[in-house]
């Protein structure tokens, strides 16, 4: 396992380009199964989750290759609809492969994805939505077997605006005869990016970004003029928010390029409440933080455009050094405070009751050895190391690699004292 070694106390300065969004790239990679033409994806991030998704596509017969900054895929010879078990357990969000597999082959088989570090991650909304499209679903021996040969459009009201369920239903519905309407759909920017890609493939999808999405299904996509479908992945709003939070905690002045300010509005509002000065211009966001962060009265995680749950851990770390008392309520996932125990070891002070945390800010955290328990928690601990006295070792850096393309290099490019150490192989002592 690798670790990130951070020495705190150094302010950040400089400019950094925001990479393409992991949570837009993953469903769009799944949707390449729906393309008759070769696909060229620009700004697809180099992440472990993306590598896992590409391995899954490879197992299904999709050919792909990185050509410098472009990821080229060709699904014309895809020939399997049974998801590889190990890989789809490793990448639990691959459950949204059911939709494109059903649309392409009329059948799909995948494993029941386990829970993960942040919650038991049910998929009832996915399965209920697909069933309403006429998909027959059997669950046996940990497998989900789907027959979607007679899919028909339906009006589907989601009990909760689930991102993955919205994406799954969108991708299946492009081959369900008639119109499908998804009510109470997730409104995340990544859903809009998926819609934009599906429309480039010639499918009739509209309304993404609002709570009502319409899909006209069952038709062969309109004939494409160009022989290749090109798409640029939207910037990653969570990477952008993480870097803004890093600047707020370490202090200094940082400019983000290739950002979408509107996608991080809720995060910027909370950082301004903490005393940061933030200006935006086009795709640039400039943050200045020269004083200790002030308390943030309340952060409540909610579906977009509410405050993103994927930024909760990072803001938790910021509140541990804020001047005053802050409160965080995690409404989206039931077990997403694992980083708290590690922050306590660094000298943080807070009380937890169920999904609510009350944090009393301390002047300085103390560097020590901590362990990442999940992707965003690992990022939060790395940011805490920037603001701690001495050296912090963040173990299990592979978890951070799932959502950041070398977070250590990103922070080092802004002046942080941070390096990555691969754990030496245990030498055989006999
Ligand atoms: C997506 O996960 C993201 N992952 C998550 O990002 C993100 O935290 C989450 O949306 C919320 O924004 C990807 O896009 C790959 P949900 P997803 O379905 O689709 C419950 C990261 O760090 N639910 O919107 O799994 C569920 O238990 C990751 O980048 C059901 O009850 O999220 C949770 O409480 C972490 N039944 C809530 O809805 C279902 O069938 C939100 O889940 C589905 C979900």
403 CB less than 6 Å from ligand 1? Answer: yes
Q: Same domain, yes or no, for 61 and 95?
A: yes
Q: Which helix (H) or strand (E) holds 139?
A: strand 136-140
Give residue 147's domain range: 22-232
Burial of 187 (0-12, 13-18, 19+ CB in 10 A): buried
Residues 6+ apart with CB under 8 A from 359: 316, 319, 320, 322, 325, 326, 327, 328, 348, 349, 350
Residue 396 DSSP class: -
Q: Same domain, yes or no, for 116 and 26?
A: yes
Distance (angstroms) between ligand 1 centre and the Cα of 208 equals 17
32 CB less than 6 Å from ligand 1? Answer: no
Distance (angstroms) between ligand 1 centre and the Cα of 335 equals 12
Question: How many angstroms separate the Cα of 265 from the Cα of each of 91, 194, 396?
Answer: 29, 21, 31
301 CB less than 6 Å from ligand 1? Answer: no
Q: Tell me, what's the pLDDT at 377?
A: 98
262-289: average pLDDT: 98
At 353-412, the pLDDT tens digits run 999 999 999 999 999 999 999 999 999 999 999 999 999 999 999 999 999 999 999 999
Note the pTM of the prediction, 2 decimals: 0.97
Q: Same domain, yes or no, for 50 and 67?
A: yes
In the numeric block, the tokens 């492969």 are attached to 97
At 180-220, the pLDDT tens digits run 999 999 999 999 999 999 999 999 999 999 999 999 997 77
The distance between the two most distant Cα atoms of the chain, rounded to a whole number of Å, is 69
In the numeric block, the tokens 């560097």 are attached to 367
115/323 Cα distance (integer angstroms): 36
Residue 146 has pLDDT above 70, yes or no: yes
| Shortest-distance atom of ligand 1 to CA 304 | 12
Confidence of residue 28 (pLDDT cuts 50, 70, 90): very high
86 CB less than 6 Å from ligand 1? Answer: no
- Closest residue by Cα to atom 32, ligand 1, is 163
Strands (E), 158-250: 178-183, 204-206, 213-217, 229-232
42/168 Cα distance (integer angstroms): 23
Phi-psi map region of 204: left, alpha, beta (phi>0 left; psi -120 to 50 alpha): beta
Q: Same domain, yes or no, for 143 and 162?
A: yes
Q: Same domain, yes or no, for 195 and 240?
A: no
Q: Tell me, what's the pLDDT at 85?
A: 87
Q: Same domain, yes or no, for 144 and 267?
A: no
* Boundary of a domain, candidates 215, 232, 249: 232
Provide the number of structural domains found in the chain. Answer: 2
Q: Same domain, yes or no, for 58 and 151?
A: yes
> At CA 411, angle to CA 391 and CA 268, rounded to 5?
110
66 CB less than 6 Å from ligand 1? Answer: no
The mean of the pLDDT values for the chain is 95
Residues assigned a catalytic role: 116
Q: Same domain, yes or no, for 180 and 245?
A: no
* Boundary of a domain, candidates 232, 265, 281: 232
Q: Same domain, yes or no, for 32 and 84?
A: yes
Distance (angstroms) between ligand 1 centre and the Cα of 179 equals 26
Q: Same domain, yes or no, for 195 and 131?
A: yes
Q: Same domain, yes or no, for 26 and 87?
A: yes
At 310-369, the pLDDT tens digits run 999 999 999 999 999 999 999 999 889 999 999 999 999 999 999 999 999 999 999 999
Distance (angstroms) between ligand 1 centre and the Cα of 164 equals 6
Q: Tell me, what's the pLDDT at 252?
A: 98
- Closest residue by Cα to atom 28, ligand 1, is 310
110/417 Cα distance (integer angstroms): 43
Q: Same domain, yes or no, for 410 and 311?
A: yes
Q: Tell me, what's the pLDDT at 121?
A: 77
309 CB less than 6 Å from ligand 1? Answer: yes
CATH of the domain at 159: 3.65.10.10
* Boundary of a domain, candidates 213, 232, 251: 232
At 31-62, the pLDDT tens digits run 999 998 999 999 999 999 999 999 999 999 99
């Amino acid at each position: 396992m690798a670790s990130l070694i951070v020495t705190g106390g150094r302010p950040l300065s400089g400019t950094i380009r925001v990479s393409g969004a992991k949570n837009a790239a993953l469903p769009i990679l799944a949707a390449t199964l729906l393309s008759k033409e070769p696909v060229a994806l620009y700004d697809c991030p180099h992440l472990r989750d993306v590598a896992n998704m590409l391995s899954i596509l490879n197992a299904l017969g999709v050919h792909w290759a990185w050509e410098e900054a472009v990821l080229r895929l060709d699904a014309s010879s895809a020939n399997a609809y049974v998801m590889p078990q190990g890989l789809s357990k490793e990448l639990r969000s691959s459950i949204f492969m059911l939709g494109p597999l059903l649309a392409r082959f009329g059948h799909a088989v995948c494993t029941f994805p386990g829970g993960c570090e942040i919650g038991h991650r049910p998929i009832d909304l996915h399965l209920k939505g697909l069933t309403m499209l006429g998909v027959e679903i059997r669950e046996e021996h940990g497998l989900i077997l789907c027959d979607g040969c007679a899919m028909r459009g339906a009006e589907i009201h989601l009990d909760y605006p689930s991102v993955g369920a919205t994406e799954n239903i969108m991708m299946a519905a492009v081959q369900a005869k008639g119109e499908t309407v998804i009510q109470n759909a997730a409104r995340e920017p990544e859903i809009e990016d998926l819609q934009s890609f599906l429309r480039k493939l010639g499918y009739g999808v509209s309304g993404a970004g609002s709570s009502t999405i319409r899909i006209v299904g069952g038709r062969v996509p309109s004939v494409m003029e160009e022989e290749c479908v090109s798409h640029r992945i939207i910037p990653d709003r969570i990477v952008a928010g993480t870097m803004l939070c890093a600047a707020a905690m370490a202090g200094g002045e940082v400019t983000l390029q290739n950002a979408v300010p509107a996608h991080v509005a809720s995060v910027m509002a909370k950082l301004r409440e903490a005393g940061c000065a933030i200006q935006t211009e086009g795709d640039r966001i400039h943050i200045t933080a020269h004083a200790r962060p002030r308390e943030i009265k309340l952060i409540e995680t909610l579906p977009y455009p509410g405050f993103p749950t994927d930024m909760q851990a990072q803001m938790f770390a910021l509140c541990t050094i804020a001047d005053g008392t802050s409160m965080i309520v995690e409404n989206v996932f039931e077990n997403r405070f694992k980083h708290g125990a590690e922050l306590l070891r660094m000298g943080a002070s807070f009380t937890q009751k169920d999904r609510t945390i009350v944090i009393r800010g301390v002047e300085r955290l103390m560097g020590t050895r901590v362990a990442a328990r999940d992707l965003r928690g690992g990022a939060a601990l790395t940011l805490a190391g920037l603001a701690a006295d001495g050296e912090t070792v963040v173990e299990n850096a592979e978890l951070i690699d799932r959502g950041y393309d070398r977070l250590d290099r990103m922070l080092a490019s802004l002046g942080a004292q941070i390096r990555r150490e691969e754990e030496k192989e245990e030498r055989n002592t006999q």
